Chain A
Amino acid sequence: MGEHHGPAKGISRWFLTTNHKDIGALYLWFSFAMFLLGGSFAMIIRAELFQPGLQLVEPEFFNQMTTMHGLVMVFGAIMPAFVGLANYMIPMMIGAPDMALPRMNNWSFWILPPAFTILAGTLFMEGGGPNFGWTFYAPLSTTYAPPSVTFFIFGVHIMGLSSIMGAINIIATIVNMRAPGMTYMKMPLFVWTWLITAFLLVAVMPVLAGAVTMMLMDIHFGTSFFSAAGGGDPVLFQHIFWFFGHPEVYIIILPAFGVVSHIIPAFSRKPLFGYDSMVYATASIAFLSFIVWAHHMYTVGMPVAGELFFMYATTLIAVPTAAKVFNWITTMFRGSLSFETPMLFAIGFVVLFTIGGFTGLMLSIAPADFQYHDTYFVVAHFHYTMVAGAIFAMSASVYYWIHKWTGRRYNESMGKAHFWISFLGFNLTFFPQHFVGLAGMPRRIPDYALQFADFNMMSSIGAFIYGASQLLFLYNVIATIRSGKKDDTAKTWDGAEGLEWEVPSPAPYHTFSVPPQVK
């Protein structure tokens, strides 16, 4: 350890750092900030939808809010949060001293804040920010877009570049820097799910870049990729977008699967059931994600053969996903369970994600989707998978590893309070949305018919509760860092397994300078 130095002093430490723990922390804090920003947009949406009629915002601004909420949450909060977790944890989990490309790691983080500053800045531009939904379908996002769309495209490009660099770094690390003896089938599942996620990222983020480049060319250089007038086709945009978009939703959820596969065994004090099948299930989900994209477009007027193909392929996803859920529960079966905050979030994840999976199966049935498509039923479905999936898993990870990061213990009752309030608020927000969706309420509308009023009011109340519970999360994190009980135990949880638990808490600035031997 002698030749290593501790962190540099002062602010330049954070700008110039190439240390994976520093960069991981930067990612995590950045994503938290974006989570609160995207959350405040959601609060505006739910406040407007509290009652029928227009009370707070005009429809134009409402559309900007729904768009920015989606973009910020997907690209600013969830993705960087898991990249941050990967940066922090993967080198420690595989016994590597750092990421494979530390310099690039620094760049891939530091181009993110400018990208999102530009994106958020569009809200203050003439004509307002992006108002065409996070899926930015042409021609609403091209011919009919506000002038700020050029900045939006620029922002997406930078953010995509950051993701690609991050993903390359993660793959290069996992492939080349595992400790001696750590074969692929001995890697922790978080590492496995991230390896697969990173391949998805490298494959589809360039497709997103291609889509926005075409938009840029249509808007400024007179091409007609997406305009029928010049021989193009607006539906082509949707195909390209969802060719990126469907793998993207697995990019969001796979690392969450990984985290849960660590936490459930730890608190069940029993090894993960079906490790091999977990790996194969993850890989097959990733593969399937490339051939199901058009299930987002059942109503667009595809040939019936196409509809059938995408319907069959989509229902198949239920098989590996179900296997995962059974594996998690069987891990708990005949274990010795305790219910600290990370475990509560992990169980909450399994329950709610399963519900999201069920509605996903319903949505995959093309004829029924003619009634579900673009309603609140879809909104409820993807929030059950994204919020209760990705965000719950993320919260679980923070409580699971925060002692390893800070050397301090969080307050267990405060953590549990965070979980229960989140769980209540989340379900109150999104469960009624299944009902209004089935009853016929379209998504992305600032105002609605009277018969939807009661469930919407419940939904808004739930959203405010859920929103408030995240402030409690912020408080818990800060309180732990500043005044949590100091404790230098290496192994925070008695049932936890893995190399990260063999280094002291907090983990030193440099870990595994000498690779450990894995049996």
Chain B
Amino acid sequence: MCFKAKQLCKLVLYPAIVLLSIFGGSAWAEEAQRWQVNMTPGVTEIGHKIFDLHMLVFWICVITGIGVFAYLIYSIVAFRKSQGAESAHFHENTTVEILWTVIPFLILIAIAVPSTKTLLEIYDTDDADLDILVTGYQWKWKYEYLDANGENVSFFSNLSTAQGEIYNAEDKGQHYLLEVDEPVVVPVGKKIRFLVTANDVLHSWWVPAIAVKRDAVPGFINESWTRIEEPGIYRGQCAELCGRNHGYMPIVVHAVEQEEYDAWLAERKAKAAQIKELMSKNFTLDEQMEAGKAIYMSACVACHGVNGEGGVGKPIAGSPIATGEITGLINILVNGKPGSAMPAFGNQFNDVDLAAVITFARNGFGNNMGDVVQPIDVYNFKQGQ
């Protein structure tokens, strides 16, 4: 363990500094900071209200705490037997006892009023400008933008942190475990309603900065809403234990201006139409090899090597899986290999891209099997699972 003295020093000093400057209202909107000790007020009105409520109760607790602990410390210091203190013998006092029952009760009522107001606002999901269906899967999120004309845009959002970072083979990036391949893009200033459900087990969709946390329950939908005030990137995580990779299904929200959002949505729709078209196309071996190589060099090369010689992952050149049954190869790309570093790419890539990279694996690096995998083959495989 490389645990340097400098690190130790920081470990002691930083909290001291931070504790002095605690609980101001400094804005750490985008994501949690190092040594952050308090809740984020976030970038929404509700978030601010929750933060204020949290601080209100916090300060009530601090003030009460100071009173209680001062009383305790005074009693400890002033009535020591070693200092010759003699004990009194009183053991009840109705006035005092009534007082310390009534006062906390009044304080509770004072807290209940703003809490109730804020809660009612959180529950007011009506008049949304945009509805997004969020579905929790083991272990990723699917987003579906409801569209009045039935042209719903939907996609999966997976953790994009490399396995090498998780297993300490590479340096961890700035957004370690809080980065995804496809963020959910939303416009600022609009009321966005999230309909939350799950495909398999319970999940919980949580982004602290936009103050939304809702459990995803298979078979049922829950709803919540937000109106983001500032453009930015907001990160969160699944907040309900959902099995092995519960810690590895982050959420990234890109809040952008309306025009940017419109452009993004239009592009999404165009791309969906394009893929639909390509699905029925028959590609030649050369086409697939070229497209597949490009994907391999971006997504696979880190683990499997430039020449398919392997590394963190198994070698591709001469691999029994790559040169065996086609379905075996499709299977490992679509579903990954549980317990190894090989992720399931089935929902990370569309079928067109998967078919290309599978063809490349069968024919590249001297494997030369000579067969071409078409998008429809991958599609059929997925359907038949």
Within 8 Å by CB, do A and B touch in the complex? yes
Within 242-300 of B, Cβ neighbours of A (below 8 Å) are at 242-248
Are A322 and B87 interface neighbours, CB within 8 A?
A: no
Q: Is the CB–CB distance between A354 and B68 below 8 Å?
A: yes
Whether B174 contacts A337 by the Cβ 8 Å rule is no
Question: Across the interface, do A53 and B172 meet the contact criterion of CB distance under 8 Å?
Answer: yes
Are A439 and B239 touching (Cβ within 8 A)? no
Check if A52 is an interface residue, CB within 8 A of chain B.
yes
Q: What residues on A are CB-neighbors of B327 within 8 Å?
A: none
A395 interfacial contact with B, CB 8 Å: no
B85 close to A337 (CB less than 8 A): yes
A307 and B57 contact, Cβ closer than 8 Å, known pairs A323-B101, A336-B86, A449-B32 = no
Chain B residues with Cβ below 8 Å from A272 are: 91
Closest to B200 in A: A144
Q: How far is the CB of A54 from the nearest CB of chain B, in Å?
A: 6
The contact of B72 among A338, A350, A362, by CB within 8 Å, is A350
- With known contacts A326-B100, A334-B79, A442–B239 Cβ distance under 8 A: yes
Within 8 A of B (CB), among A297-328: 299-301, 304, 307-308, 311-312, 315-316, 318-319, 322-323, 325-326
Q: Are B54 and A371 in contact (CB under 8 A)?
A: yes
B375 at the interface (CB under 8 A from A): no
A515 at the interface (CB under 8 A from B): no
Q: Is the pair A450, B68 in contact by a Cβ cutoff of 8 Å?
A: no
Closest Cβ–Cβ distance, residue A399 to chain B (whole Å): 18
How many of chain B's residues touch chain A, expressed as a range?
A: 35 or more
B97 within 8 A of partner (CB): yes
Q: Does B105 sit at the interface, judged by CB under 8 A?
A: yes
A451 at the interface (CB under 8 A from B): yes
Q: Which residue of B lies closest to A237 (CB)?
A: B202
Q: Are the CB atoms of B112 and A311 closer together than 8 Å?
A: yes
User: Of A140, A269, A319, A452, which is within 8 A of B242 by CB?
Assistant: A140
- A457 contacts partner chain B, Cβ-Cβ < 8 Å: yes
A368: B residues at CB distance < 8 A: 50, 53-54, 57, 115
Question: Quick one: given A144-B201, A332-B79, are A307 and B119 in contact (CB under 8 Å)?
Answer: yes
For window 22-55 of B, CB contacts with A under 8 Å fall at: 31-40, 49-50, 53-54
Query: Closest Cβ of chain B: how far from A461's Cβ, in Å?
Result: 9
> Which of A130-138, A149-157, A249-257 lines the interface with chain B?
A130-138
Give chain A residues whose Cβ lies under 8 Å from the Cβ of B183.
Answer: none
* B368 located at the interface, meaning its Cβ lies under 8 Å from any Cβ of chain A in the complex: no
Interface residues of A in 319-376 (CB under 8 A from B): 319, 322-323, 325-326, 329-330, 332-338, 347, 350-351, 354-355, 358-359, 361-362, 365-368, 370-371, 373-375
Cβ 8 A contact of B68, one of A312, A323, A329, A334: A329
Instruction: Indicate if the CB atoms of A311 and B37 lie closer than 8 Å.
Output: no
B72 touches A229 (CB 8 A): no
A464 interfacial contact with B, CB 8 Å:
no
Shortest distance from the beta carbon of A456 to any chain B beta carbon, whole Å? 11
Is A270 located at the chain interface by the 8 A CB criterion? Answer: yes
Which of B50, B82, B87, B111 is packed against the most chain A CB atoms within 10 Å? Answer: B87
Q: Given A367-B118, A448-B247, is A270 in contact with B88 using a C-beta cutoff of 8 Å?
A: yes
User: Known: A137-B202, A354-B68, A365-B111. Contact between A445 and B247, CB under 8 A?
Assistant: yes
Contact A451 B217 (CB under 8 A): no
Q: Check if B324 is an interface residue, CB within 8 A of chain A.
A: no
Measured CA separation A373–B122 after assembly (Å) = 15
A451 touches B36 (CB 8 A): yes
> In the bound complex, how far is the Cα of B224 from the Cα of A304, in angstroms?
12
Assess whether A412 is interfacial by the CB under 8 Å rule.
Answer: no
Which of the 9-residue segments A190-198, A274-282, A417-425 touches chain B?
A274-282
Task: State the CA gap A367–B85 with chains docked (Å).
Answer: 48
B219 within 8 A of A: yes
- Asked whether A454 and B91 contact (CB < 8 A) given A336-B81, A336-B85, A438-B37, the answer is no
Question: Main SS of the interface on chain A?
Answer: helix
Binary per-residue interface labels of chain B (185-213) against chain A in the complex, 1 for a CB within 8 Å, 0 otherwise? 00000000000000011101010100111
Q: How far is the CB of A470 from chain B (nearest CB, A)?
A: 23
Partner pick for B108 among A307, A316, A347, A371, CB 8 A cutoff: A316
Question: Could you tell me if B239 and A337 are in contact, using CB atoms closer than 8 angstroms?
Answer: no
> Among A137, A350, A440, which residue has its beta carbon within 8 angstroms of that of B236?
A440
CA distance A335 to B238 in the complex (A): 51
Q: Kindly list chain A residues whose C-beta atoms are within 8 Å of the C-beta of B57.
A: 361-362, 365, 368
| Cβ–Cβ contact A269 & B11, under 8 A | no
Q: Report the Cα distance A449→B172, complex, angstroms.
A: 9
Q: How many Å lie between the Cα of A435 and that of B31 in the bound state?
A: 14
- The chain A residue with its CB closest to the CB of B208 is A440
A307 to B119: give the CA distance in the assembly, Å. 9
Interface hit among B126-134, B160-168, B304-312, B342-350: B160-168
Instruction: Tell me, yes or no, whether B148 is within 8 Å of chain A by CB.
Output: no
Does A218 sit at the interface, judged by CB under 8 A?
no
A404 to B261, CA, bound (A): 74
Shortest Cβ distance from A409 into chain B, in angstroms? 19
Q: How far is the CA of A144 from the CA of B166 in the complex (A)?
A: 25
Q: Across the interface, do A449 and B177 meet the contact criterion of CB distance under 8 Å?
A: yes
Is A488 at the interface (CB under 8 A from chain B)?
no
Top 3 nearest A-B pairs by Cβ distance? A228-B219, A445-B247, A301-B222
The contact sample of 11 A-B pairs, CB cut-off 8 A, is A59-B244, A137-B240, A271-B91, A273-B92, A323-B97, A332-B76, A338-B80, A370-B50, A370-B213, A371-B39, A374-B239
Task: Identify the A interface with B (CB < 8 A).
Answer: 52-55, 58-60, 63, 131-133, 137, 139-140, 143-144, 227-229, 233-235, 268-277, 299-301, 304, 307-308, 311-312, 315-316, 318-319, 322-323, 325-326, 329-330, 332-338, 347, 350-351, 354-355, 358-359, 361-362, 365-368, 370-371, 373-375, 432, 434-435, 438-442, 444-455, 457-458
